[in-house]
Each structure stands twice: as structure tokens, then as C-alpha cells.
């Protein structure tokens, strides 16, 4: 059985998916963007990254050619990647819109990928990368089509992010009429199966008219190195941690407001923010300069794991996701998490985590206070969260379920 996995622009999770599926005995080829050879030093790649606002670009690009996957089974669409980055530079100079740049860049990827779409039974493509004849060619060759979609339905994204228009310095939020998102939906409509990574995502598609039988939920895995990092739940001052892009979609402004409420109550805490800090909204000086708050920026995973191991509570008041891997990593580590249903994470309220309504800073502050005062509940939640991920969200299980999906589609 052979599968071609097309990642589209960027990388998302599909390289790790390919590694896991290959270990199940499936013959897998990957179509992706530029994979720099060894003759390109990391310093050179990172210097290129600075031109397009990407820090530590080399670290991300090296993940496209991991040790667990043969280089000769990776097909590169280098031109389309350089092309889309050039287009995004032009958007910064106001020569064209972000939507038009995305449409042109993803169309270029679809066009370039067509030469690699052959001799396979399954075409497994990231939503948006099937345009410009890519899905059409797979169909013509008798392939079954799996469209991999990793976030809520665009209509749900728009509904959620409309709540944020007053928070952002620029209104770069999704419009359901945007050409790029229409192309994403066209791929989903043309698929034999739309593969999503949480029940939340499936529910948003069904709510927008998709047949539930066409949507298959298979949970992404979490690397075993995250399992049960937290060894002790004894604590003095409550140590909070956030990981991910610190921007308005993730609820960064809600965290600022909730922390302000805690400061006014003289509630003892520390907060580590790990990830890039977005310029979408203005972070107040008191927050940046607070002695208990540290904005670390992005960091390697090994360093991030040390923060998960020593923290007491993970906070992630997001507005919309697919299935936030960062939340699942914290759960795997054994941390109690405070998040929203919209994170897509496998959280059951007051069992393996704490669910709050979105767009509600007071609810976040109240949840922090409640869990901060209850060591027993934090420990119980953390241990159950770790068990949830360890038993149901492994890459082996993901690959087994995808392989069974492939087999059922071929036999049908």
C-alpha cells in the first residue's frame, strides 16, 4: 500500500505523520517545500529567515528531513516556497493583499506538486494544497483522496475571531469570502475523507453543512519525551506557564487582564510565557516589567520541557484551534491545564483539566485562584491528564488508525 502525503506550504504535523505511518508498513512519499542540504549552514538559513520575519528558520526546515525518514522519499517544491515568501514580503510593502499572496503561493505549490503525484493508491493532502489540478491529477490516476484539515471550519474561525476586532492593532482576521479559505473548503468538499484531529473540528464542519460520515477524527500523537515530566506537585508560589504564539487568537490579552486582577488581589504567582510575542496588541509596561513575569520568546523543545516539569498550572484561553498540541504536551507532562473547548484538546472539566468560556478574563482569573488553592485537585487533574495522552494520543495509535482508514478507502 502506497501513500503520497503533500504538506502544502509550511510543514504542520504531516512530516511526523509520514514517519509514523511508514512505521506501520505503508510505502510513503512526502511532497513538501524547500529542504536545505548540508551545504547550507544554519547561520545562512537563519539570516534568510530574518528577511521574512522567521526566527530560527533552520530549526524548522531541518525537521522536514528527519532521521526517521529516507531523504530519497521526500519530494521538494522549492520554487513555490521561495515564491510565496517573496509574495509575503510584497504584502508588507502594500503591493498586494495577504489573501492574494496566499492564493498565489498555494496555487504555485499545487502546480509544482503535480509532477510528483503518480503511482500511488492514496493522495493525502493538506487542505489548500490540492488546488491547481493536484487533486484532479490524483483522481485521474485512480487514487483515493484524504484531505487533512487541522483547524476549525473557516466559518467557525470567523465567528470566533470577530470577537477580537477591537483587540487587534490590525484586522488581519479571516473573512469567509477570502479566496484562500474558499480554496481550503473546495479541497475538503472534493475529498473522499476529510481527516481532522479533534471532535471540536468535526463538530464545526457538521455545523456548516458537511456530512458527518465524511469527517474522520484521528488524534495526533504527542512525543513520548513529554510523558510525565512533572514529578512533584508540592509548591510554594503558584507557577503559571503559557506556551505558543502569545497573540490575541490564543487569548494573550485575556491573560494580561486576568493577571492584572490577580495582582490587584495580591495573589502570589509567577508566569513564564514561552513563544513568540505577537505585535497584534500592546502589552502594558507593568506586565512586561513585573518581576514575576518572564517573556522568554521561542526556545528549543528540550528547554521548554524543563518549564513544564517545574510549573504548577498551564493556561491557554484560546478562541479557536484544531487540537492544540501545546495543550496536549502540557497534559502529557502531567500539568493541570486551564483552557477552552475551542482548544480541541481532550479535556473533561474538573477531571483531567479545567474548561472556561472563551473571551472571559474574569473566568480565567477565577480558575487560577481556585486551582491555586487546591493542591489535591491540581495533582489529580495532572495525573489524569498525563494518562489521557499516554493512552490515547500516541503517534503509534495515530498511524494505526490512519493505516486502517487507508485500507478501508482502498477496499471500498
Stretch 30-34: mean pLDDT, rounded?
87
Stretch 64-89: mean pLDDT, rounded?
82
Residue ranges of the chain assigned to CATH 3.40.50.2000: 2-221+394-411, 224-392
pLDDT at position 41, please?
63
Name the CATH code of domain 2-221+394-411 (choices 3.30.70.2740, 3.40.50.2000, 2.40.30.10, 3.40.50.1970): 3.40.50.2000
Report CA 362 to chain centroid distance, whole Å: 26
* Full-model pTM: 0.90
C-alpha cell at 336: 493541570
Contact 240, 271 (CB under 8 A): yes
Bridge partners (DSSP) listed for residue 193: 146
Q: Is 156 exposed, middle or buried (0-12, 13-18, 19+ CB in 10 A)?
A: buried
* Rounded Cα–Cα distance for residues 155 and 177 (Å): 10
Which CATH fold topology does 224-392 show? Rossmann fold (3.40.50)
Phi, psi of 294, rounded to the nearest 5 degrees: -125, 125
CA distances from 132 to 9, 21, 176, 189 (A): 14, 27, 20, 15
Query: Which residue do the cell numbers 528558520 mark?
Result: 57
Confidence class for position 412, pLDDT limits 50, 70, 90: confident
The predicted-structure confidence for 209-262, as pLDDT tens digits, reads as follows: 999 999 999 999 999 999 999 999 987 899 999 999 999 999 999 999 999 999
- In the sheet where 144-148 sits, what is the strand order? 74-76, 27-32, 2-6, 122-126, 144-148, 193-196, 215-217
CA distances from 402 to 146, 214, 260, 287, 309 (A): 10, 14, 45, 44, 31
The predicted-structure confidence for 122-181, as pLDDT tens digits, reads as follows: 999 999 999 999 999 999 999 999 999 999 999 999 899 888 876 555 545 555 568 899
Stretch 42-70: mean pLDDT, rounded?
61
Confidence class for position 298, pLDDT limits 50, 70, 90: confident
Confidence class for position 78, pLDDT limits 50, 70, 90: confident
pLDDT at position 366, please?
97
Amino acid at each position: 500500500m502506497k501513500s503520497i502525503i503533500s504538506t502544502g506550504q509550511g510543514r504542520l504535523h504531516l512530516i511526523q505523520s509520514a514517519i509514523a505511518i511508514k512505521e506501520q508498513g505503508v510505502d510513503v512519499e512526502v511532497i513538501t517545500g524547500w529542504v536545505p542540504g548540508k551545504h547550507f549552514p544554519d547561520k545562512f538559513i537563519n539570516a534568510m529567515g530574518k528577511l521574512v520575519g522567521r526566527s530560527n528558520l533552520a530549526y524548522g526546515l531541518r525537521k522536514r528531513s528527519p532521521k526517521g525518514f529516507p531523504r530519497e522519499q521526500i519530494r521538494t517544491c522549492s520554487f513555490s516556497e521561495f515564491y510565496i515568501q517573496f509574495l509575503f514580503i510584497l504584502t508588507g510593502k502594500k503591493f498586494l493583499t495577504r489573501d492574494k499572496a496566499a492564493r498565489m503561493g498555494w496555487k504555485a505549490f499545487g502546480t509544482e506538486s503535480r509532477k510528483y503525484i503518480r503511482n500511488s493508491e492514496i493522495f493525502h493532502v493538506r487542505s489548500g494544497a490540492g488546488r491547481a489540478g493536484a487533486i484532479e491529477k490524483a483522481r485521474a490516476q485512480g487514487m483515493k483522496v484524504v484531505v487533512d484539515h487541522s483547524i476549525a471550519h473557516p466559518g467557525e474561525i470567523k465567528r470566533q475571531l470577530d470577537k477580537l476586532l477591537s483587540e487587534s492593532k490590525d484586522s488581519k482576521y479571516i473573512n469567509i469570502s477570502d479566496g484562500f479559505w474558499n480554496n481550503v473548503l473546495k479541497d475538503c468538499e472534493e475529498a473522499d475523507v476529510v481527516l481532522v484531529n479533534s471532535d471540536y473540528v468535526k463538530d464545526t464542519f457538521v455545523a456548516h453543512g458537511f456530512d458527518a460520515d465524511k469527517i474522520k477524527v484521528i488524534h495526533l500523537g504527542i512525543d513520548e519525551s513529554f510523558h510525565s515530566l512533572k514529578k512533584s506537585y508540592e509548591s510554594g508560589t503558584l507557577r503559571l506557564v503559557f506556551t505558543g504564539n502569545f497573540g490575541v487568537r490564543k487569548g494573550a490579552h485575556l491573560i494580561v487582564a486576568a493577571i492584572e486582577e490577580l495582582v490587584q488581589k495580591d495573589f502570589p504567582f509567577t508566569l513564564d510565557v514561552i513563544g513568540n510575542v505577537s505585535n497584534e496588541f500592546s502589552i502594558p509596561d507593568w506586565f512586561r516589567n513585573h518581576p514575576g513575569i518572564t517573556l522568554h520568546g521561542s526556545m528549543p523543545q528540550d528547554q521548554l520541557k524543563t518549564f513544564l516539569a517545574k510549573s504548577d498550572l498551564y493556561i491557554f484561553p484560546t478562541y479557536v484551534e484544531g487540537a492544540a498540541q501545546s495543550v496536549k504536551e502540557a497534559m502529557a507532562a502531567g500539568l493541570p491545564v486551564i483552557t477552552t473547548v475551542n482548544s480541541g484538546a481532550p479535556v473533561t472539566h474538573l477531571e483531567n483539566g479545567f474548561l472556561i468560556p472563551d473571551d472571559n478574563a474574569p473566568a480565567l482569573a477565577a480558575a487560577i485562584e481556585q486551582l491555586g488553592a487546591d493542591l489535591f485537585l491540581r495533582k489529580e487533574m495532572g495525573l489524569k491528564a498525563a494518562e489521557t495522552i499516554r493512552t490515547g494520543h500516541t503517534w503509534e495509535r495515530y498511524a494505526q488508525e490512519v493505516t486502517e482508514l487507508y485500507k478501508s478507502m482502498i477496499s471500498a
